[in-house]
Amino acid sequence: MGVLDIFAIIASMFGGLALFLFGMDTMSESLTAMTGGVLNRVIDRITKNRVFAFLFGAVLTAIVQSSSAITVLAVSLVNSGIIELGKAVGLIIGANLGTTATAWILSLNAVEGESIWMTLIKPSSFSPFLAIIGVFMKMFAHSEKRKNTGSVILGFSVMMIGMNLMSQGVSPLRSIPAIQEMLLSFSNPILAFMFACAFAMLIQSSDAVIGILQAFAISMTVRFTVAIPLICGAQVGTCITALLSSLSTSNNGKRTALVNLYYNLLKTIPFLCVFYLLNAIFGFSFLEKDVEGIGIPMFHTLVNIGGSCIWMPLAGVIVSLANRTIPLSEEEKQKQANTLTILDQGLLRTPAFALEQAGKALNLLAKTIEEIFLSGISFQQDQTEVRLLCERAQSYGHQIEQYLLRISEQEIGKNDRARILMLSSSNTAFARMGKLAERILDYLDVVVSEAERMTEEDRRDIRVIGEAIYEIIQITIDGFINKKPSLSQTVQYYREEVMDLGNLIKSRYIRRAHETRKERINISFFSDICSAEEHLIDYCDMLAEAAIQYDKNVGKYHHPEPDETMRKQIHSLFQDKYEILQGQ
């Protein structure tokens, strides 16, 4: 064999591998673009049941033709808080089973027969025609969805053409004794396992390694004793893709990548140990036989079915290993509490879904504000926990603001822009509530330190206005989260009652200050406390106005008729609840 022959073989091998990897990547990315945020929504729902998550992961990977793409997606979803680590296990195990579909498709090239039908079912026969269809769709289709469909068809075709090119390229090697000796050297299972693992890490694809092995099996003599450890090693090596993608994520994202690694290690290494132990005892004769076209996908599938049956019920063990590898520290707990992991930057490619996540994040901020005022209206000496909540609210607000800015930079429609405006205005209102809460806490600290200059009536009145303000905040947040159309009217009627209550409390304090000779806290300071709490109603109004403006922008707004029944109910509620209003 001359230099030119060797060069032709190397060129065919590398060219085929490049086409194979390019086709697989194009197909995976195009399918993801076609589904958009719908895929993330479906996964969010399906992963609530581990069995459904397993089946969905298997089917999705069989379609996408890349387990790495699905495991990287799982890392992103767990990192963003869309699904929990325990729920991602089923998806990952299913993805590892689904990736065996690639080997089955590639095995069709090994089908022998002279009939026209035997020839047509080979991917090498129909792939060029599919490639032409894909190219025409990508070039001449007007809709983005059809262009993506063309990319999927083209990616699949290129992947098959690359596989065929590799198979044809290695065909002349069957006559070279040195190549046969190299393959026989892999009969050492440890060496074969490590080689396949390293090669899969290098090209970041177990499917490509197994595809190359199938190309050798079609064109040359490959025995089971070589193929078995190579297949197992490739499955472990491909875990590098998820591990690399997790480097820029939170610890939860890294734990997800570790779950994928641990599953593949626990699936392959114990199997190989038991298999070769039984071989030492019974001596499996088939190991020295040649791998037929169907042998590689069959063994690949059996290993994954066995692993799924064993480790699906024991998924908690894998999660526990990942959690022990990266334990949750107190600092991380605090950092996680102040970090909105659901605002994943990877979701910005699908603005509609990113907006849904921003809405969920805003609901978390709303609940945090509600918790602040639930905890902060008392005169407890230690307000540390409440101040930590205020710090969390400010952090949430900043993260949401930055995320909305990033979404607005994407290509989005009119309704999405209207929603960004509504979420941004609402976020500003909640952020101001958090800042005002800190000021009220400072006032309360002064009240506590100057307790001897206040009567029990003074303290009771501050508690009353605080409770009334908390009540309107609670109702506003409930209306905001549940998108109640009556929110604006409710806030308006509560405002009237709270303002009357606040004015009454201030006038009562002024009267007590003049009627008694006791040294008291400055009247203006007491008035500032009431006014600060009354300002919170302005932000409740701001939330209601943001919702109204959004409805107007998307054409859903209907001006509500005055609801006197609601006004009377709220008035009666305040009269019954707060004794100081009775008789006024």
- Output the CA torsion sign for 437, 81, 29, 197: positive
Nearest to 364 by CA among 332, 336, 330: 336
Could you say which residues of the chain have pLDDT below 50? Answer: 113, 118, 379, 381
Domain spans in the chain, listed from the N-terminal domain onward:
3-325, 336-581
Spatial separation of the C-alpha atoms in residues 476 and 559, rounded to whole Å: 19
Topology annotation, domain 336-581: Methane Monooxygenase Hydroxylase; Chain G, domain 1 (1.20.58)
Residue carrying structure tokens 């040294």: 519
In the prediction, which pLDDT does 270 show? 93
Selection from 184, 182, 187, 211 nearest residue 199 by Cα: 211
Helix (H) / strand (E) containing 252:
helix 251-282
Asked whether 560 and 489 are in contact (CB, 8 A), the reply is yes
Going by C-alpha positions, the residue among 211, 172, 157 that lies closest to residue 17 is 211
Give dist(CA 337, CA 431) in Å, integer.
Answer: 17
Q: Concatenated DSSP letters for 353-371?
A: HHHHHHHHHHHHHHHHHHH
Q: Tell me how far apart the alpha carbons of residues 232 and 189 are, in angstroms, rounded to a whole number.
A: 10
Q: Which tokens sit at 415?
A: 């309704």
Task: Give the model's pLDDT for residue 550.
Answer: 82
Q: Distance between CA atoms of 96 and 62, rounded to whole angstroms?
A: 10
CB proximity list for 501: less than 8 A, separation 6 or greater = 464, 465, 468, 574, 578, 580, 581
* Dist. CA 70–CA 75, nearest whole Å: 9
pLDDT tens digits for range 368-395: 988 888 775 554 545 777 888 888 888 8
pTM for the whole structure: 0.56
Do 112 and 73 meet the contact criterion of CB atoms below 8 Å apart? Answer: no
Q: How far apart, in whole angstroms, are the C-alpha atoms of residue 434 and residue 418? A: 25
CA angle 199, 197, 30 (to 5 degrees): 65
Query: What's CA 81's distance to the chain center, in Å?
Result: 6
Taking the C-alpha atoms of residue 66 and residue 207, their distance in angstroms, rounded to an integer, is 8
Residues whose CB falls within 8 Å of the CB of residue 246, separated by 6 or more in sequence, listed in order: 75, 79, 253, 254, 256, 257
Q: What share of the chain is helix, strand, coil (3-state, %, to 5)?
A: 80, 0, 20
Dihedrals phi, psi of 44, to nearest 5 degrees = -55, -40
Per-residue pLDDT at 232: 92
- Find tokens 């479906």 and name the residue: 42
List the alpha helices (DSSP H) in 516-560.
523-553
